[in-house]
Structure 1
Amino acid sequence: MKYVIGIDLGTSAVKVLLVNKEGEVCIECAKEYPLIHEKSGYSEQNPEDWVEQTILALKELVDHGNVNPEDIEGISFSGQMHGLVLLDENYEVIRNAILWNDTRTTKQCNVIKTKLGQKLFKITKNPALEGFTLPKILWVQENEAELYEKTAVFLLPKDYLRYRLTGQIHMDYSDAAGTLLLDVVNKEWSKEICELLNVNISLGPPLVESHDLVGNLLSEIAEQTGLKEETKIFAGGADNACGAIGAGILTPGVGLCSIGTSGVILSYEEDRNRDFKGKIHFFNHGKEDAYYVMGVTLSAGHSLSWFKDTFAHSESFEDIVEDVNHVPIGANGLLFTPYLVGERTPHADAVIRGSFIGMDSSHNRDAFVRSIMEGITFSLNESITLFRNAGKKVDKMISIGGGAKNDVWLQMQADIFNTEILKLENEQGPGMGAAMLAALGCEWFSSLEVCSNQFIQVSKTFQPIDDHVNKYKQLYEVYKNIYPQTKDLNEKLKPFRE
């Protein structure tokens, strides 16, 4: 039997999957690393942590996978999007990586909007938001000029990890689309954007397709992990693109709901000229010459993690959601907005913060947990509303991530989205998408669609319940009013945040 490895470099941990030709995950290993929050709005990581923990995970996989390393043919990657890694002329890291959930760059976003205007949407198909890479580059340029002057190339997180494993510098189109420097349709770094913002276009690495072969393992990495130097390394893709591949979102008609640290609503798109006017994201897919549209809730699973860590630290997620089915729809009049670190879709607001509305002394912990789950799902539904208003059908959705691990939450998604929800038999998210890109690169299959038919199976479906749908429609209208009525209050509270 032959195998491939999918490496998913997430925000809190790296996960590696060993997958055989049947699409079975034979073993998985994960290693965590810390976030660095120097001050409010700052979110960084040390790229060396990614490398060290990935090597440890790969070694553990080889040691305990009960397979011959010679039978592991290829490796590919999925990675957290938008994070900025700066390298000098010797390809040494200059500073900590600035991550996707860092919100320090509001000033730089305003500069981009002023200098580019509608050109930004025409070229990149996306608005200037704090999470994207270009504003981070401009922030370093303005605030750490001596470091910026040393910069020879910038990479995204998984591209830096891949460089350390292969010695080769590349970036794939799906991840490059999240930088605000890529001409999304023409698939090249935008000379016009670089010139208008005084960014040297040579900072952008060579661009490749997600399934492209980009090298082999360095001898020292092979020695540390037990893998063979001859192992083929493929470029991989952005975590959302790989999540779409790993869920089989490769043709029109089926959408994706992914609830991890952030939450994503995603739909396949073939029309490169479709104009969403910057209201939702439009990115290159990990599938060649295809695209996807996407809305993002910044604090999806993070909202539930925050509640658990703050109020139920010693309990598991399973424990805290166990009894939410005993709480009625609407959590007895308690509504939550998941704006713990600002919001992305549809508000693009780095200042807004979360709220519990309607709280009284009758609400117990289970009501708070249900209101958080409902609030996250309402926020994701705002992206679905934008899709539907733009003429896209949302009739069926595959749910992955933390939101797919609880049947109550899956039914909640079906009711709030008013669409069929599918749960996968063996849901591995972006890591599986990375493995599928390696399988395609190794020529196991003629296309990702053929690979998907082999690797991905549905285990359970959830249909919307009419009575629930009607109740949630009423609550959703109330939920949508919270943002405009708390925006000004949050602006006034900003000076008091540490």
Structure 2
Amino acid sequence: MLLLGIDIGTSSVKACVVNADNQSVIASAQYPDEESPIISPRSGWAEQSPEMWWQQTQQALALCIKKGGFEAKNISAIGIAYQMHGLVLVDKDQNLLRDSIIWCDSRAVEIGDNAFNGIGKETCLSRLLNSPGNFTASKLAWVKQNEPDVYHKIDKIMLPGDYIAMKLTGEITTSASALSEGIFFDFQANELSKDVTEYFGFSDKLFPEVKPVFSPHGSVRDDVAQQLGITPGIPVTYKAGDQPNNALSLNVLKPGEVAATAGTSGVIYGVSDLLAYDPQSRVNTFAHVNYTSELKRLGVLLCINGTGSLYRWIKNAFGVGLTYEQMNAEAAKAPIGSDGLRILPFGNGAERMLNNKRVGAHLHNIDLNVHTTAHIFRAAQEGIACAFRYGLDIMRGNGMNPTVIRAGKTNMFLSNLFTQTFVNATGVPVELYNNDGSLGAALGAGIGAGIYSSQADAFSKAGRVDYIEPNNYKAFEAIYQDWKAILEKHLEDMQDDKSKEKDSVNH
């Protein structure tokens, strides 16, 4: 029995076909090879075309089929993982109304801040477990305020994975997990938040039917099946945001278990059974894939927008002609601490863990007589690891104290140097597994289709491929404290500039 997993990423779409019996990947592919464009009409804005995701999905699946080794007609269920927090809008004929406002877009920060005060901070934190912040609800409010002609044509709002499921099946559904990541879900009432819909003036009719994450979300249409070369009527039985899905793929399902990823963005994601929240909403709590009203399973998420996105920029600016593997080898030639060179990686929109400030990316202490590209490559990896440590300390302050972190051996965790630096920065060992989002989505489909007896059973054959312990934590602590001082000076300067601007307006 075969399972198809689709992972709708910011950079590309990945697809894999999995043998359900032994949980092994038969074929996998991603499309395109080069990173997908992000449309930025204004500074701080970030959009992508959902139709581009659909075209890439078709191409990725075609590449899988071309590799052979399986019969596509034997695929029995489909799972979808997707970039979180994006806003997709369609009319009554399921036509797109605009490009998707994606996760790293910053235009709705002020709208979210006003909603936090308008709804009431205590109400937001106790019922939504978050500030509305810069999430999907605030993005929808931005469309309502600034594009009323578009807003009045909306039949349904969706997240990116919902759109791909709609293209496959013609049906539109959502889940408690999806509503929570958009800040539409009331955890106390276990339903669509009346506080949010009434404050923003959203009609309940805009929201799709709510179904469990692991359940049928529609069956593949005949015409689409013929186009893709798969069997008509096979179900989509799983949809989840990329970070809950990454946690699932690492079998992170129980309270206290923690996963990490370092792709375009960086995330630490821990599971809790407490309806808890960060008072400043710097880390965010969502319904995990196995959340039910009876079994509270919450995903506590720390997100850093600028991780792989920084390393990509460094490659384009300083590593032209080099592969990432060659950059990593060069980085290893520089000493720990990069001879004082420090990099803040926050150049990809407003950072939630920094109270939605747009700090920007910065290179500090460049010595023209000392520093080389090797130093820059290493300092970038160290800066990203320090950002993870800064966020993990916030999570620790909210009761999340991991003794081990699980990660897939992919993206930046392909670099031995980065992985060791991450471990030395955080002081927490890392277990690496051969997995990615498309594999997790495929196995999620198997759970939703009832092929596996339990969620844990779907990952019974997953094997750890590496275990990395801290080997220089004390030495790196001094580097981290220096990096942290630079960051906090930037934050202080931003606050001073804001105060001066306010004073000048008042006078």
Q: TM-score range by the shorter chain?
A: over 0.9
- Equivalent residue for 2:276, pick from 274, 277, 287: 274
Distance change >3 Å, CA 403–CA 254, structure 1 → 2: farther
Secondary structure of 1:29's aligned partner: strand
Name the TM-score, length of structure 1 as normaliser: 0.93
Secondary structure of 2:152's aligned partner: helix
Superposition pairs of residues 56-205 of structure 1, within 5 angstroms: 56-118=59-121, 119-130=123-134, 132-205=135-208
Q: Which shows bigger deviation, 8-17 or 227-236? A: 227-236
Residue by residue over 1:244-276, the C-alpha shift from the partner in whole angstroms, topping out at 9 and shown as x without a partner, is 0011111234321200000001111122x2343
Answer yes or no: is 1:480 the counterpart of 2:484: yes
Distance change >3 Å, CA 288–CA 436, structure 1 → 2: farther
Secondary structure of 1:423's aligned partner: strand
- Equivalent residue for 1:461, pick from 462, 467, 487: 467
- Give the letter aligned to residue 326 of structure 1: K
Q: Which shows bigger deviation, 364-373 or 277-286? A: 277-286
Residue by residue over 1:315-374, the C-alpha shift from the partner in whole angstroms, topping out at 9 and shown as x without a partner, is 111111113222222111111111112443421334211211222111111111111101
Residue by residue over 1:29-55, the C-alpha shift from the partner in whole angstroms, topping out at 9 and shown as x without a partner, is 211343212221111111111112212
**Is this contact kept in 2: 1:88–1:153, CA < 8 A?**
yes
Percentage of identical aligned residues: 24
**Is this contact kept in 2: 1:252–1:269, CA < 8 A?**
yes
Structure 2 residue aligned with 1:325: 332
**Is this contact kept in 2: 1:327–1:367, CA < 8 A?**
yes
Residue by residue over 1:89-111, the C-alpha shift from the partner in whole angstroms, topping out at 9 and shown as x without a partner, is 22211111111111112331232
Structure 2 residue aligned with 1:7: 6
Residue by residue over 1:230-253, the C-alpha shift from the partner in whole angstroms, topping out at 9 and shown as x without a partner, is 322113101000000011111234
Residue by residue over 1:121-177, the C-alpha shift from the partner in whole angstroms, topping out at 9 and shown as x without a partner, is 1221112322x1111111111111111111121001110111011000101222221
CA distance in 2, matches of 1:299, 1:200: 35
**Is this contact kept in 1: 2:175–2:211, CA < 8 A?**
yes
- Give the letter aligned to residue 482 of structure 1: I
Structure 1 residue aligned with 2:322: 315
Structure 1 residue aligned with 2:505: none
**Is this contact kept in 2: 1:216–1:233, CA < 8 A?**
yes
- Give the letter aligned to residue 380 of structure 1: F
Structure 2 residue aligned with 1:300: 307
CA distance in 1, matches of 2:114, 2:399: 32
Structure 2 residue aligned with 1:31: 31
Answer yes or no: is 1:211 the counterpart of 2:211: no
Structure 2 residue aligned with 1:438: 445
Corresponding residue pairs, total:
486
Structure 2 residue aligned with 1:241: 244
Residue by residue over 1:162-221, the C-alpha shift from the partner in whole angstroms, topping out at 9 and shown as x without a partner, is 101100010122222111111135432111211122122221111111111122111111
**Is this contact kept in 1: 2:104–2:349, CA < 8 A?**
no
- Give the letter aligned to residue 50 of structure 2: P
Residue by residue over 1:386-439, the C-alpha shift from the partner in whole angstroms, topping out at 9 and shown as x without a partner, is 222223321101123322101111111211111111111x222x2122111111
The Cα shift of 1:482 comes to 2.1
CA distance in 1, matches of 2:232, 2:31: 23
- Give the letter aligned to residue 276 of structure 1: D
Secondary structure of 2:358's aligned partner: coil
- Give the letter aligned to residue 20 of structure 1: N
**Is this contact kept in 2: 1:55–1:221, CA < 8 A?**
no
Answer yes or no: is 1:387 the counterpart of 2:389: no
Structure 2 residue aligned with 1:366: 374
**Is this contact kept in 1: 2:277–2:284, CA < 8 A?**
no
Unaligned runs of 5+ in 1: none
CA distance in 2, matches of 1:66, 1:172: 34
Unaligned runs of 5+ in 2: 502-507
Indicate the RMSD between aligned Cα atoms, in angstroms: 1.8
CA distance in 1, matches of 2:395, 2:109: 26
Secondary structure of 1:479's aligned partner: helix
Structure 1 residue aligned with 2:355: 348
Structure 1 residue aligned with 2:423: 414
- Give the letter aligned to residue 354 of structure 2: H
- Give the letter aligned to residue 411 of structure 1: Q
**Is this contact kept in 2: 1:62–1:225, CA < 8 A?**
no
Structure 1 residue aligned with 2:504: none
- Give the letter aligned to residue 31 of structure 2: K
Structure 1 residue aligned with 2:255: 252
